[in-house]
Structures are given as structure tokens and as C-alpha cells.
């Protein structure tokens, strides 16, 4: 049987922080992403997840500019919008790579919903900035009219902040598992998935929130009970004392060591923190390993030659 793996690709695999937000840039980057990953897929049943933060933000800016012509959409619908768009681009990039290599294998993008708890404390304290910047006057008006929570963002203006609740379940998990086991390269849980809640009668309704994509990817990896969870990011290895003279790359760390480093403040919430949390959650639940590395080094990491391996105690 082929090894099963969930691979969470980072934001730079789609659009670099200083690159223009064009379709051409996304296609170019994803072509490169697919070229790296297609080299390791021969013996894998794989599910690929991805972020969508910049794309959702750009879409909200577009909608704000056109609000007098077409009303802006709720955030959960924008999550779905970008999940479908990026799924299409990622699948196409992989299909082209497979055709080039003469491999007959199917790919599919699956828009997925992720269950969150309406009682999650994140809903009482929204912290995730989304969308365009506003003046103080605009922010106060929007807060009154729409009930939005708005905060000042590092002196650059005011932005809407939304909840970032913990993911609890993936609605389409059985279909994802079936596709994976059939060998279909499945792109799903984009941007952490579309956040939804269960209503009292068991139905589903969308909620305006953002789910961290690494946490959702870790949840999916646990649900699918995969052999390995891989998080691709902008660095080859995880570091402690990152950016300082005494920075140190980590080759293999146990769950207990990872927790200790987190408590010591080595992994900030806005960067490596959620990735380490997600790795810990997977390793603890499955007693298997999680690899954190860069896209460019993914082949070497699969051979054990580089990357940071988070392993059981």
C-alpha cells in the first residue's frame, strides 16, 4: 500500500509577500510548487491543503471598492470563493506536471466546510485582521451599521477583526478519505476551510470567521489517520532564537521539547507558533511524525536529509 500523507503548502507557494496579486504570478508560483511536489508523489496517497489569506483580503478590497454597485459578500462566502479559485489553479498546475511526466493520475479540488463551536472563546475576542484599511470615521460607521469589531492596525489605519476559532470536524471528510484511498490527488480544506456551525436541528450554517490553515490541516490529517503530516513553510528547518546570533536549527524534536520551546517563546503566534501547535496535535494523536520544511527541500526531507521532524516522546 502507498503511504498516506497530508501536505500543507505555505502562502509563498501561491503568492510571495512582495509580489503583485495577479493570476500570472499565482500560476507561475504554483507551477513551481507542483514541479517540486510531483517528484515525491509516486508512492504516496496525498491530500494537499493551502492558505488563502492574501486572496481573501484582496477580494474584500475589491468588494469594498465596488460596494455601491454590488453589495459585498459575507466572509464565509468569500472563503468558499477563494477556496474554489485556488483549488482550480493548484489542480491545473498538478495536472500539467503529471501530463509532462507521462503519469496517469487524477487530481481534484474539493471545497470543504469545517465545523467550529459557537461557544468558542474566539467569538468573544476576535483578533484576526481581514480586508481593507479604513479611516477612523469609516471604521466607526461600519462598526455601527454592520456590528463589526474593528481595531487599529499598527498605526496604518483601522481594520475589521474576526474570530479565529478552533476547527472541530470536516463535513466532507468521508469523501476526502475515499478520494485519497483511490489515489486521487485531492486539494482541500483551502484557507482552513469554510467555517460553519451546526444548528439545533443538525443543519449547517456559515459563520464569518477565519480558521488557521495549519490547524485545519492537522485536524484533517488526524481524521484521515495518515501516515505522515508535512507542513511546508518559508524555511528549511525550524529554529530557536530565530534571527539572533545564537539561532539554532532543530533537526528532530520530541513533543515535550516542542512544548517547552513554545513556553519559552521561541515560536511566535503570528508565524511558527500555529505550525508547531499543529505538529504537536498530530503527533500526540497518532504517535507518528510531522515534518516541517521548505517547498524547495521537500524531496530531501522525505529522505530524512533535512527538515525538522517532530516525533513522539
Separation CA 69–CA 62 (nearest Å): 11
Indicate the range of 100-104, 114-118, 214-218 predicted with least confidence. Answer: 100-104
Domain 1-108+179-205: give its CATH architecture: 3-Layer(aba) Sandwich (3.40)
Q: Which of 24-28, 46-50, 143-147 has the lowest mean pLDDT?
A: 143-147
- State the average pLDDT over residues 132-155: 84
Is the pLDDT score of 130 beyond 90? no
According to the model, what pLDDT value does residue 45 have? 96
> Of 10, 11, 57, 307, which residue is the catalytic one?
11
Give the pLDDT score at 82: 94
CA 288 to chain centre: 21
52 exposed, middle or buried (CB, 10 Å; 0-12, 13-18, 19+)? buried
Examine the residue annotation and report whether 67 is marked as an active-site residue of this protein: no
Percentage of residues of the chain with pLDDT beyond 90: 72
For the chain, the farthest-separated pair of C-alpha atoms sits apart, in whole angstroms, at: 60
Please enumerate in sequence order all residues whose Cβ is within 8 A of that of 225, keeping only pairs 6 or more positions apart, or say none.
4, 286
All 3 cell numbers of residue 203?
A: 443543519
Would you kindly state where each structural domain of the chain is located, as residue ranges?
1-108+179-205, 227-313
Dist. CA 4–CA 177, nearest whole Å: 10
pLDDT digits (tens, 9 = 90+) for 33-53: 999 999 898 889 999 999 988
Q: Is 39 a catalytic residue?
A: no
Q: Where are the beta strands (DSSP E) in 16-167?
A: 44-50, 107-110, 113-115, 128-134, 149-152, 158-162
CATH number of 227-313: 3.40.1160.10
* Band of residue 155 on the pLDDT scale cut at 50, 70, 90: confident
Closest CA to 253 of 312, 211, 197, 208: 312
Please compute the mean of the pLDDT values over residues 61-73 and round it to a whole number: 92
Residues 239, 264: Cα–Cα separation, whole Å: 13
- pLDDT of 131: 79
Which member of 78, 131, 275, 307 is catalytic?
A: 275
Instruction: List the catalytic residue out of 87, 213, 237, 307.
Output: 213
Residue 303 CA from chain centroid, whole number: 24
Distance between CA 265 and CA 278 in Å, rounded?
16
Residue 195 near residue 207 (C-beta atoms within 8 A):
yes
pLDDT at position 142: 85
Grid cell of 277 as nine digits:
501547535
**CA nearest 157: which of 219, 64, 66?**
64
Do 1-108+179-205 and 227-313 show the same overall fold?
A: yes
User: Could you tell me the pLDDT band of residue 312, with boundaries at 50, 70 and 90?
Assistant: very high
Residue 128: active-site member? yes
Q: Could you give the dihedral angle defined by the CA atoms of residues 279, 285, 287 and 289, in that order, rounded to the nearest 10 degrees?
A: -20
Q: Tell me whether residue 11 is one of the annotated catalytic residues.
A: yes
Catalytic annotation, pick one of 12, 106, 183, 234: 12
Residues 2, 106, 128, 259: which is the catalytic one? 128
Q: What is the pTM assigned to this prediction? A: 0.92
Element (H, E) at 249: strand 248-250
Amino acid at each position: 500500500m502507498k503511504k498516506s500523507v497530508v501536505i500543507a503548502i505555505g502562502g509563498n507557494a501561491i503568492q510571495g509577500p512582495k509580489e503583485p496579486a495577479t493570476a500570472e504570478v499565482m500560476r507561475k508560483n504554483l507551477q513551481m510548487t507542483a514541479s517540486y511536489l510531483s517528484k515525491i508523489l509516486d508512492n504516496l496517497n496525498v491530500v494537499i491543503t493551502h492558505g488563502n489569506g492574501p486572496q481573501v483580503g484582496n477580494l474584500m478590497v475589491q468588494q469594498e471598492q465596488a460596494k455601491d454597485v454590488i453589495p459585498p459578500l459575507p466572509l464565509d462566502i468569500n472563503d468558499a470563493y477563494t477556496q474554489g479559485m485556488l483549488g482550480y489553479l493548484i489542480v491545473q498546475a498538478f495536472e500539467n506536471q503529471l501530463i509532462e511526466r507521462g503519469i496517469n493520475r487524477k487530481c481534484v479540488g474539493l471545497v470543504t466546510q469545517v465545523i467550529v463551536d459557537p461557544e468558542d472563546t474566539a467569538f468573544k475576542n476576535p483578533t484576526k485582521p481581514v480586508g481593507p484599511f479604513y479611516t477612523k470615521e469609516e471604521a466607526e460607521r461600519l462598526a455601527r451599521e454592520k456590528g463589526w469589531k474593528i481595531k487599529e492596525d499598527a498605526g496604518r489605519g483601522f481594520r475589521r477583526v474576526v474570530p479565529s476559532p478552533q476547527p472541530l470536524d470536516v463535513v466532507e471528510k468521508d469523501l476526502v478519505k475515499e478520494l485519497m484511498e483511490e489515489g486521487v490527488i485531492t486539494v482541500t480544506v483551502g484557507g482552513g476551510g469554510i467555517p460553519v456551525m451546526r444548528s439545533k436541528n443538525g443543519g449547517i450554517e456559515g459563520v464569518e470567521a477565519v480558521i488557521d490553515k495549519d490547524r485545519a490541516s492537522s485536524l484533517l490529517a488526524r481524521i484521515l489517520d495518515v501516515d505522515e503530516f508535512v507542513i511546508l513553510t518559508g524555511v528549511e528547518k525550524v529554529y530557536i532564537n530565530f534571527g539572533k546570533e545564537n539561532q539554532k536549527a532543530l533537526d528532530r524534536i520530541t513533543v515535550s521539547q516542542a512544548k517547552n520551546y513554545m513556553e519559552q517563546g521561541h515560536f511566535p503566534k503570528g508565524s511558527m507558533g500555529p505550525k508547531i501547535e499543529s505538529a504537536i496535535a498530530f503527533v500526540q494523536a497518532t504517535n507518528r511524525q510531522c515534518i516541517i520544511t521548505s517547498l524547495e527541500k521537500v524531496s530531501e526531507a522525505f529522505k530524512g536529509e533535512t527538515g525538522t521532524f517532530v516525533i513522539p516522546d
